[in-house]
Structure formats: structure tokens, C-alpha cells
Amino acid sequence: MKPLAIIGGTGIDELEGLEVVSSHRIQTPYGEPSRPIQEGRLGKTTVYFLQRHGSPGAIPPHRINYRANIWALKSLGIDGIVAINSVGGITEDMRPGRLLIPDQVIDYTWGREHTFDEGEGGELMHIDFTEPYDRHLRMALLAAADSAGIAHEAYGVHGVTQGPRLETAAEVQRLARDGCDVVGMTGMPEAALSREAHMPYASVCMVVNPAAGLGDLPLTLAMMREILASEAAVVRKLLSELLRQRETA
């Protein structure tokens, strides 16, 4: 079985328990990825791990080289990508500490290099993006969450904004009217590029704060970090169970 790749976001700087056996510094046609990709083992399973923000650096969401990241992972022959995203909660169910495995996305980003299609292949790279997340990989994540007894939401819309600033209260109201359940800054164009590269892709969203205007306290990094620490542990448990089930399948 081909290995999975994990893309870590804010709060997932390293993959705890990963026995790193190699580090891949890959040059791509689109420049360098966020950082060298770690190859390691979790239990009996080979896993590749990439921190999209470039830890120990801090690449902001709009400056991440998403094309290089996805191209580099593709070159390693992986079977799919599980992306970890830190998000703000919009709907009542998406309170801090909640885990969402979204089934839909709305892209509000702009100016990012969002496709591999540069018009040089003589053929338009139209992709079917009706279901932006791979159904089989989503189902595997949901089964792992159920098996591990991890509370989660199985359906939701992930709204992706440009960043690096957080949204205004009026913008969050607009997102709510559009049907978004959570809001983050890194889910796109990552998902679309993975579809263009023919790689299964699914997201795990950690709700770390109420979206702007929906909480009683100002949004601060300190508040988010406290939730991140606890949710990161839950996500690691989910990934371990996902890999365990893949081993025994």
C-alpha cells in the first residue's frame, strides 16, 4: 500500500510519534516547498509529513507555495493527503474544541497561484470539483473517528479566506449567509491542486475559536493556542487510528 501524506497547519508543527527515517528536500518546477518533507513511520506504516507554514518559520497563508507543496508530495508516490486546518467556528455546532471533517468548500481567496494549468499543454485542465474532498478518504477518516470514540461533525462547509488578517464581523455574517460552517485561510487552493494532481485529499478542521463577532472575548493567539494544544492531541489520535485501520485493511 502506498503511504499517506499529512499536511500540518497551525498547532501541528511535528507529527508526534513519527519515527523520522529521512528528509526530502525537493526542487519543483514551482520553487521550493514550505520545508523538507519528513518521511517516517507511525507503527508499521510509512507516512510523509509536511508543515505548510514552514516550521520553525511562519509562512503566512497567502504566501504558502501550495503548488510546490502538492507537486513535491505527488513526486513521492503517495496514496493521498490528509490536511489539518485550524479554523474559526461560525454555526452553533462549530464551537471551539470541535472537530469537523468537511464535505464542501467555498473559496474566497484571491491572487494565489491556484492551478498547475499555465496554458502550455494545449489542453484545458478542467477538473470535476463537485465533491472537493475525496469520498473514500473522508469515509476512512469518519470510520477512524467513530472507532476511536472521537466526537466530530461529519458534514460542513469550509469557507477559505485570504488572510493573514482575521475576518470582520460583517464578513462572518456574509459567510454564514453563504452557508459556511467554519472559516480558515489554508484550505484552498490546496484541495483543488490535489484534485488536478489526481491525489485523494481530505481535510480535518480543528475549531480553535469563534469566528469574529460570535464570541464574548477578543480573538487572540493565546486563546487559540490553548485550544490548539488539546485539539492537536485529538487529531494525532485520529491519524493513528486511520493508519492502524489502513494497516489491517
Domain ranges of the chain: 4-111+130-234+244-248
Kind of pairing between the strands at 19-24 and 37-42:
antiparallel
pLDDT at 228: 79
- CB-facing half-sphere around the CA of 166: CA atoms within 13 A: 20
C-alpha to C-alpha distance for 97 and 143, rounded to whole angstroms:
20
pLDDT at 42: 78
pLDDT in tens, 112-163: 999 998 877 677 778 899 999 999 999 999 999 999 999 999 999 999 999 9
| CB crowding 62-87: b at 16 or more within 10 Å, else e | eebbbbbbbbbbbeeebebbbbbbbb
Q: Alpha helices of the chain — where are they, by DSSP H? A: 66-75, 135-148, 169-178, 190-196, 221-248
Q: Which residue has the cell 492502524?
A: 244
Kind of pairing between the strands at 157-160 and 104-107:
parallel
pLDDT at 125: 77
C-alpha to C-alpha distance for 106 and 132, rounded to whole angstroms:
10
Q: At what angle do helices 135-148 and 221-248 cross, to 10 degrees?
A: 100
Q: Which stretches of the chain score pLDDT less than 50?
A: none
pLDDT at 66: 98
- CB-facing half-sphere around the CA of 218: CA atoms within 13 A: 3
Separation of first and last alpha carbons in the chain: 10
What's the angle, vertex CA 218, arms to CA 212 and CA 224, rounded to 5?
Answer: 85
pLDDT at 210: 85
pLDDT at 124: 75
pLDDT at 191: 98
Structural contact between residues 121 and 234, judged by C-beta atoms closer than 8 angstroms: no
Amino acid letter at 133?
Y
pLDDT at 222: 64
Q: What would the grid cell of residue 54 be? A: 514552514
Q: Which residue has the cell 481535510?
A: 203
C-alpha to C-alpha distance for 101 and 160, rounded to whole angstroms:
15
4-111+130-234+244-248 falls under which CATH superfamily? Nucleoside phosphorylase domain (3.40.50.1580)
Q: Which residue has the cell 491525489?
A: 199
- CB-facing half-sphere around the CA of 229: CA atoms within 13 A: 5
Q: Is 4 left (phi over 0), alpha (psi -120 to 50) or beta?
A: beta
pLDDT at 13: 67
Q: What would the grid cell of residue 176 be? A: 454564514
Residues whose CB is less than 8 angstroms from the CB of residue 244 and which lie 6 or more positions away in sequence, other chains included: 43, 144
